[in-house]
A and B are shown apart, each in its own frame.
Chain A
Amino acid sequence: DADVTQTPRNRITKTGKRIMLECSQTKGHDRMYWYRQDPGLGLRLIYYSFDVKDINKGEISDGYSVSRQAQAKFSLSLESAIPNQTALYFCATRTGDKETQYFGPGTRLLVL
């Protein structure tokens, strides 16, 4: 079984809809992250959480919100989806500084 899972893997939605992307991990890591990836722009940080009570905005948090339901679960919501949120979304986990970040398989989102 994969250590970091994301659901759904693919999603098509319409402008204005609220959607949630979910991330679960069995690695026991405290730190969890949400990134989006667009062609030519690399990975950009949306939100990150160091534990259940510690949630922080990344460089592109506008239009997104998150929830850390438990150590193992970190969800990303698009309150009112817009077409420029079409992207590949990755969840990642990490134990601490200087440690590797491990990525989930990604969610491909298309907003029409």
Chain B
Amino acid sequence: QKEVEQNSGPLSVPEGAIASLNCTYSDRVSQSFFWYRQYSGKSPELIMSIYSNGDKEDGRFTAQLNKASQYVSLLIRDSQPSDSATYLCAADTGRRALTFGSGTRLQVQP
């Protein structure tokens, strides 16, 4: 079992809709979680980090963490075509480096 799992997609949503991206992790030691956005051929860039159970909002983005269920999600409200990218979920177990999922490709249809 991979330590961090994501559905590879593509997840297709119409412009203006809410995109919901999900991630599960296997290591209960994981304490911190990160969502990165990666455009094709470019480097990952941080969208949000979350450390505590519950929701964290930043503009159109909301990260949700449920440690009991070992589940992290990212909601993107009012999705725009420019949001079309691969979204990487990462977990930090504090041992070495972030462990990344394989990413979910999001397509926002105009």
Show the binding face of A for B, using Cβ within 8 Å: 31, 33, 35, 40-43, 45, 48, 56, 58, 88, 90, 92, 94, 97-98, 100-106, 108
Contacts and interface: CB of A to CB of B under 8 A. Distances in A.
A58 B97 contact: yes
Contacts of B43: 90, 103-106
A92 B81 CA distance: 28
Interface of B: 8, 31-32, 34, 41-46, 49, 51, 88, 90, 92, 94, 96-103
B101 A101 contact: no
A40 B88 contact: no
B93 to A, nearest CB: 9
Contact of A43 (B46, B88, B96): B88
Contacts of B34: 100-101
A101 B31 contact: no
A29 to B, nearest CB: 13
12 contacts: A40-B8, A40-B102, A42-B100, A43-B100, A45-B99, A48-B97, A56-B96, A88-B41, A90-B43, A98-B49, A100-B46, A105-B42
A10 to B, nearest CB: 11
Nearest to A41: B102
A18 to B, nearest CB: 25
Contacts of B98: 101
B97 A98 contact: no
